[in-house]
Structure 1
Amino acid sequence: MPTLPNDMSLRKPSTPVRGGAVPAVGIDAVDVRFRTKKRDVTALAEVSLDVRMGEFVALVGPSGCGKSTLLKLVAGLLTPSTGEVRLQGERVSGPRHDIGYVFQRAALLEWRSARRNILLQAEMRRMPSAQAAARADELIAMTGLEGFEDAYPHELSGGMQQRVALCRALLHEPPVLLMDEPFGALDALTREQMNIELRRIWRETGTTVLLVTHSIAEAVYLADRVVVMSPRPGTIREIIDVGLPAEREYAETMTRPEFASATGHIRGLLGSVGVGG
């Protein structure tokens, strides 16, 4: 039965090197089993995956297949029943404070401005104030938040709120960024714009990204590889190299044969079970 580890010690991030011999994330033969009052539930079974330094990997699969559970394992919020998870070669044995995490909801503090929500990360980590302020300015410019630094969450659109959440997650320059359906609550046009922005920011920062999404098109546009998972118990059915160029203009990418091939293949693997377009 998975448990929440007690080790809350801070670990300093190391500088990511794109590619590299040691994977940014290593998942080796992981099983996760939960015990309920009525029965035992296997959430993940024999999952193995290596994510290279600087790589963008997307996870897709039917609802309840264990995608979010996999992110929690990488973050050290859950312990595998069997198997092992490593970050940059180090075994994950408790909550990791060197990673970044973005959720479906921005989870901003309503009484703090956008900038002060971003800097909350610095306060929690006791980062030097000058360093944190400079990094916040850099991220605000990178994400198009200039002019909205002093706005409060209720004054920001959903897309703007998610930009603030992304800045907060990137403030300490994490080697690995985990994203759990970050754009699922946004309207289609805003989601498209956030996809474009996220890919640009990823290219600029070189951070390793592991993204959970229910959108096949989003996964293929954003990622280098797409991991297709089976219904519970979650296993990896196939890992697909999308075969798209590194530089991707959104509208043009949607018309490319590689995009159509990858999305069609993933839909064929998943059928119509709980996964959107």
Structure 2
Amino acid sequence: MTMARDTTLRKAHRTGVGALDAKGPAVVGLEDVAVRFRSKRRDVTALSDVTLDVAMGEFVAIVGPSGCGKSTLLKLVAGLLKPSAGQVRLGGETVNGPRHDIGYVFQRAALLEWRSARRNILIQAEMRRLPGDRARARADELIEMTGLSGFEDAYPHELSGGMQQRVALCRALLHEPPVLLMDEPFGALDALTREQMNMELNRIWRETGTTVLLVTHSISEAVYLADRVVVMSPRPGTITEVIDVGLPAERDYTETLGRPEFREATGHIRDLLGAASAHD
């Protein structure tokens, strides 16, 4: 997926349309998926009867109580786990093993301490054997896009937590993946930095058009960022409801938090989860 996006998709993003038929075919699909883990002591069902389609260019957030299988769902899409039942598709193909055409951002940036920010980003190119000139040009684009200009040669210990996560995001986007998976990427950041990263991620998503699946425990983060929010039940995780947020793609942070659509969506999700099941 390139930086230049289809005009129809851009229009759908600008109007905040969340339906699949408005954004095109599903790029991620899960159909009747279940995951069971077996040990000598017991069997655990992590996911049960999960069906979900995510359209190209869509931003979908996944919320639910701890242990409900949110991270397991991302691992299924990445091909790091196989479903015990059902089918997972990516780009129309059945996922049968680890996929190298996705980007993955974890809660910890996991940067190599002996490499600069730029060289941490470019490790993706080395692993994938991407053409050097193109990879360096792409890294420069991402560094500018994420506000890392001037910090290219800084080492991880010289960067704040937010800066480190920006490097991790650049690394995940270097090969221009059609799908970006994010597992609690801002959970360890302080509140102010987290807000800033939310705004940056919204802007980057709009500029790249990448399909994003985000796992988060923050209801407000999910609603601020996503087209749709998937609400999951306690284990075994099933989809309780999918909320169409109905906000425009370009979102000023303070203004968005005051919109009735935002308040309605966050309130409804809290009701679904219950105060004991999720925190914000």
- Does residue 262 (structure 1) correspond to residue 265 (structure 2)? The answer is yes
* Cα distance per residue 1:239-272 (max 9 Å; x no partner): 0001112221000001001000000000000002
Q: Where do residues 188-207 of structure 1 align in structure 2 (5 Å cutoff)?
A: 188-207=191-210
CA offset at residue 22 of structure 1?
3.0
Query: Does the Cα contact within 8 Å between 1:25 and 1:52 map onto a contact in 2?
Result: yes
Residue ranges of structure 2 left out of the alignment (5+ in a row): 10-21
Q: Which residue is 2:43 aligned to?
A: 40
CA offset at residue 49 of structure 1?
0.1
Give TM-score scaled by structure 1 length. Answer: 0.93
* Cα distance per residue 1:51-71 (max 9 Å; x no partner): 000000000000000000000
Question: Percent identity between the aligned chains?
Answer: 79
- Does residue 252 (structure 1) correspond to residue 255 (structure 2)? The answer is yes
Q: Which residue is 1:5 aligned to?
A: none
**What SS does the corresponding residue of 1:173 show, helix, strand or coil?**
coil
Letter in 2 for 1:236: I
Considering only aligned residues, what root-mean-square deviation do their CA atoms show, in Å? 1.3
Q: Which residue is 2:216 aligned to?
A: 213
Q: Where do residues 134-149 of structure 1 align in structure 2 (5 Å cutoff)?
A: 134-149=137-152
Query: Does the Cα contact within 8 Å between 1:23 and 1:50 map onto a contact in 2?
Result: yes
Query: Does the Cα contact within 8 Å between 1:22 and 1:88 map onto a contact in 2?
Result: no
Q: Which residue is 2:165 aligned to?
A: 162
CA offset at residue 39 of structure 1?
1.1
Q: Tell me the matched-pair count.
A: 265
CA offset at residue 24 of structure 1?
1.0
CA offset at residue 76 of structure 1?
0.1
- Does residue 226 (structure 1) correspond to residue 220 (structure 2)? The answer is no
Letter in 1 for 2:116: S
Q: Which residue is 1:271 aligned to?
A: 274
Q: Which residue is 1:60 aligned to?
A: 63
Give TM-score scaled by structure 2 length. Answer: 0.92
- Does residue 183 (structure 1) correspond to residue 200 (structure 2)? The answer is no
- Which residue of 65, 69, 73 maps to 1:70? 73
Q: Which residue is 1:174 aligned to?
A: 177
CA offset at residue 21 of structure 1?
4.4
Letter in 1 for 2:204: I
In 2: Cα distance, 1:174 partner to 1:258 partner? 31
- Which residue of 83, 96, 121 maps to 1:93? 96
Query: Does the Cα contact within 8 Å between 2:79 and 2:95 map onto a contact in 1?
Result: yes
In 2: Cα distance, 1:182 partner to 1:111 partner? 22
**What SS does the corresponding residue of 2:213 show, helix, strand or coil?**
strand
**What SS does the corresponding residue of 1:93 show, helix, strand or coil?**
coil
Q: Which residue is 1:117 aligned to?
A: 120
* Cα distance per residue 1:72-96 (max 9 Å; x no partner): 0000000000000000101000000
Letter in 1 for 2:98: P
Letter in 1 for 2:115: R
In 2: Cα distance, 1:129 partner to 1:64 partner? 41
**What SS does the corresponding residue of 1:134 show, helix, strand or coil?**
helix
CA offset at residue 14 of structure 1?
9.1
Letter in 2 for 1:107: A
Letter in 2 for 1:247: E
Query: Does the Cα contact within 8 Å between 1:54 and 1:209 map onto a contact in 2?
Result: yes
* Cα distance per residue 1:113-144 (max 9 Å; x no partner): 00000000000000000000000000000000
* Cα distance per residue 1:119-177 (max 9 Å; x no partner): 00000000000000000000000000000000000000000000000000000000000
In 1: Cα distance, 2:134 partner to 2:2 partner? 17
CA offset at residue 20 of structure 1?
5.5
